[in-house]
């Protein structure tokens, strides 16, 4: 099952990029005629088969749509970057759980100073391929918390996960949130500081 950027329609052909061609031909060792599933986040999922396997690339023939594209929740995850392997796991599991956007947010106690967004985006593609969702979450550019909040869309509720215990239970909060846009903010290993809590409260 592969994510491709191409338009998907019946009886069309696609030549995969170098990495995907290598994966199918050399890692999975698929042969001409074998079946694959394709999705692009716009046209649903399609049944296809390998038409040609060559060093120059793998050509695929698209047959029929197996699942139509369906609306998905508009749910953002804002997360303070944590150590490499753990932030990779966050991207993977958040994709499996259905987020529409991952936004690394730097807080005062964030340990990591840089984020490899290309690696996180690749992790989200792999997770979407594995869990059979029909879209890939958007990868937002990392930004400081105060900058993120200064341009916040008032129509999108922000659920602030406050580890201090001073907030309301999550089930109580969610029962009062209308269906639609939503964002969840989770902090770093050391938690949010008082100034950040005050900023969020405002």
Q: Give the integer Cα–Cα distance in Å for 8 and 13.
A: 9
Structure tokens at 114: 């840089």
Residue 174 pLDDT > 90, yes or no?
Answer: no
Per-residue pLDDT tens over the stretch 39-78: 999 999 999 999 999 888 899 999 999 999 999 999 999 9
pLDDT one-digit tens code per residue, 79-136: 999 887 899 999 999 999 999 999 999 999 998 889 999 999 999 999 999 999 999 9
Is the pLDDT assigned to residue 3 strictly greater than 90? yes
Q: How confident is the model at residue 168 (pLDDT cuts 50, 70, 90)?
A: confident
pLDDT above 80 (res 34): yes
Name the nearest CA neighbour of 21 among 62, 56, 48, 47.
56
Among 66, 29, 24, CA closest to 47: 66
The C-alpha atoms of residue 12 and residue 150 are separated, in whole angstroms, by 46
Tokens of 90: 């966050």
Place 177 in a pLDDT band, splitting at 50, 70 and 90: confident
Global pTM value:
0.89
């Amino acid at each position: 099952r592969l994510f491709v950027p191409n338009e998907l329609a019946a009886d069309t052909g696609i030549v995969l990029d170098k990495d995907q061609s290598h994966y199918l031909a050399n890692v999975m060792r698929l042969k001409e005629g074998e079946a694959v599933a394709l999705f692009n986040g716009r046209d649903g999922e399609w049944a296809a088969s390998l038409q040609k396997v060559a060093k120059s690339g793998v050509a695929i023939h698209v047959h029929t749509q197996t699942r139509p594209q369906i609306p998905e929740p508009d749910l953002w995850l804002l997360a303070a970057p944590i150590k490499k392997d753990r932030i990779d796991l966050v991207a993977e599991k958040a994709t499996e759980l259905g987020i529409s956007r991952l936004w690394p947010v730097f807080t005062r106690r964030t340990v990591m100073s840089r984020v490899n967004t290309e690696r996180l985006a690749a992790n989200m593609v792999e997770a979407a391929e594995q869990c059979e969702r029909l879209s890939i979450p958007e990868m937002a550019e990392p930004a400081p918390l105060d900058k993120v909040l200064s341009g916040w869309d008032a129509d999108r509720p922000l659920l602030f996960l406050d580890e201090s215990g001073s907030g309301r239970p999550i089930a109580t909060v969610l029962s009062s949130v209308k269906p639609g846009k939503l964002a969840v903010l989770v902090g770093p290993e050391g938690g949010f500081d008082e100034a950040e809590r005050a900023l969020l409260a405002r």
